Amino acid sequence: MKVNLVNYTQDAKDLLLFTKNTRLLNVEDAYQEIKDWPEDKKQEELDYMLKTIKSSWEFVDYTFEIRDVTRAFTHQFVRNRLGSYAQQSQRTVDMEGFGYYTPPAILNEPRAKELYDDVMKEINQAYQSLREYVPAEDARGVLPTNIHTNIVAKFDLRNLHETAKSRLSPRAQGEHQEVFRMMIDEVIKVHPWAEPFLTPTEWAAPSMGNALNPGKS
């Protein structure tokens, strides 16, 4: 899998502070005034926002290109309706020779991996055979949920923070944890000051499904 940060809010720190302080300042050029604040004052304001005001976080956006993740992952990923998404279509893209994800439990068991790879080969052959008679939109029904796909996703800082609480949780599946760690790392590369906003100190409560099946998400 691969995650690229393809677009993000420029001068995000100053924008955060500006939106937070708009209700408090009555000057003609408040944005420039805030840009000119010393760094220690900016950091003090950011620390305060981390504990209290979160509405301003919604003004800062990040757009990610996420490649070679599974359909199983994206089915859960897009349930977060506060994000925006565009995904590779199996209806129009010919998936012959598709790549797929192998879970660690299967990778670590030689016989299981052999069986798993054999099934994937059979599915690919069945897909190719179907494509001789029907379009991709009809043949795609035989494709596995662990097939690789690509998706573009946009989150604001607040939503990324809230989603990280569940997707970086030890209860989350490994693929979810890995993708979100890569997303967070991409953000921190361009906005190092954002790391405390994206490092959960508590985890989201498990769903009923997790409560019934501990360790799964």
Task: Write out the catalytic residue numbers.
Answer: 167
Residues near 9 by beta carbon (within 8 Å), at least 6 away in sequence: 15, 59, 60, 61, 62
Residue 153: in which H helix or E strand, if any? strand 148-156
What phi and psi, each to the nearest 5 degrees, are found at residue 8? -160, 165
Instruction: Measure the CA dihedral 82/4/60/74, to 10°.
Output: 10
**Burial zone of 131 (CB within 10 Å; 0-12 exposed, 13-18 middle, 19+ buried):** middle
